[in-house]
Structure 1
Amino acid sequence: MRGKGFKSVFLIFAVAFVCVMGSSAVAAEPDRAGWPDQLRFMAGPPGGNWFALGTALADMWTGAKLPQTTSSSGGGVANILNASSRKGDLGFSVTSLVGAAVQGAADFEGRTVDNAVIMTNLYTQYTYFIMRKDFAEKNGIKALGDVIAKKLPLRFATLKPGTSSEFVVKALFDKGYGLDYKEEFKKWGGSIEYASYEGGADLLADNHLDCFAFSVGKIASIVMNIESKVDVVILPVDQEALDSLSDAYGTETFTIEPGTYKAAKEPIKTVGDYTCIVIRRDLPEGLVFELNKAVWEHKDALVAAVKDMQELDPSIALPAKVPAHPGSEKFWKGLK
């Protein structure tokens, strides 16, 4: 009888344990109330890191049984505006650009941006001023400021207006050197082109450009691609200009270390920022928590798509001066 009683108690305990575990498993399932059926991710121009990573993120989130995510081309400025107006759900930008949007400054002057916040900082963003070596040597160009001091007739290109690259380039010339590059370069007999990464690389190689400027990650395949086609130099940005831009929009000074590229013979100072994901503020907190969680858990797979993703870390994920989504704060602060 004692044996039967023990078995009965054990059975009751076992059933209770299974019930508790079952209820815990149900509780662990995220609350999907208010989640959209589909998410629209806005990446970057074709040929760059953002475009490749956008595809990888969309596939990863869809595969992780989060809302089906589509990825399309986009730009740092447009992605912020489209997130705020709900024309897109989330996409790439740079952190200082989101800061400018919240302030209603620069490209966002007169525009209302009240529904766009940071989901997460991903990795550092460098701005490159790539110049044909023959042009630099012919004109004695050692730094970006030399172009301005000499008022050279420069055939110049960057990415199209609305991209983070064009914003940073424009802001640097404005705040750092006190000029409107579109007007001044033309006054000096130069020209302005707007091109894709690959298009600009080809124009530079074919001697239709003297300088091509753009923002991209720390180790950029597009720079290596350009170096495989033509001899170039990477122009350092003058420290005074870097400091002025930092005071205006909170950018940083980053250094391209020697050996990173063939043209990097010595340390090269340039504009530094962070590639981030900007997201609609009105998306559910639980969904944004899960989006961040999936990014962190699939970091290795994302590194395979874009090596710069190896920089992703809880210590840089949340910006200090730019608002982040509550779901992001909950996730990243929980890892620290």
Structure 2
Amino acid sequence: MKTQAGTLSILAVSCLLLSACLSEGPGLQVEESEIYELRDQYPEGPYGTELGQVIKPLSFLDPNGANYGLEDVYRDQFNQVLLVTTSAEWCTACIKEQKTLNELYDEYKDRGLEVMVTLFQDLNFEPATAELSERWRERYELDFPVVADPTDPSLFAPYYDISLTPMVMLVNVKTMEIIYLTQGFDEDQVRALIEANLPQKLRSRSYPNEPYGKTVGTAIEALEFVNPDESTFSTENIYEDLSKRLLLVTTSAEWCTACIKEQPTLQSMYEEYKEAGLEILVSLFQDRDFEPASADLAQRWIDKYDLSFLVVADPTIPSKFSPYYDVSLTPMVMLIDTETMEIIYLTQGFDEDQVRGLIEAKLGLSQ
């Protein structure tokens, strides 16, 4: 097991190596594509318990008694660095650090910091429960995940000497590699490593605020539709997926011959640009009898034209996009910058060359 002194020695070297990342200002200098890459499967082993090793996908209990663990942290693309601390109800040092943890979270959450407190024992040295995690979160007014580890010995026992609780760990969420591990909480060291390992700028965790508009240069409000399986789909879902950099929206109706003709082109464009961050959304608002669109129509549309992008139904009257264009001139074609949800292109009718040129320019693919 590593001693605290040994860990700090390695930390000192790490800070020196990371200083180059700070040379152009605070924050890690990384390409946008590296930040917004997809995370489908938790990194494979071998797993370890020391610096430089990948941490295994540990799972805990949230305040509701449901499973919550490192896989959940990994799948959230907003998360870039995870700060984990172990705590117990009898640990006075742990209690003292809660305010600082909340301050760190508030300061860095919009740049990709996630914080997680894992409780392993109550005041009587009994295994932690979901109820304890809820009491802890409410008592210290915490905004980040607080989970219970009821196992004996605790899941983090192999990582440090429990008698020296709290353990403090930083994890690179993209790789789930442990980049800092010690006992006791040194705010200055933790803050320095968080600052060095977070990107300078990250899309805000919350959907852009008003004012919203319906013209080029304004942010579009979050709109809700119906998926083919009848569940609700919101444009917030696209905003929250950091792999999506640009959204192409078209409106369609079953009676619209121009809409039908553009479907193969949309599919071709999606296949060509999806890896670069393009998402496509077709919003159906009427069937062939001019009745409001349904989930069943959305599924038929996908099957009929063999589409692999998003197709949704808009059963509202008037349709959600009717304020944005003249519906009699369907299709509407819109491009949205998903970092800001700003409309950057809005027209009626589909000009493939123009749309393709704008997509390539926005995604940095222009020659």
Give the shorter-chain TM-score range. Answer: under 0.3
* TM-score, normalised with respect to structure 2: 0.19
**Larger RCO, structures 1/2 (Cα 8 Å, 6+ apart):** 1
* TM-score, normalised with respect to structure 1: 0.20
Greater per-residue helix proportion: 1
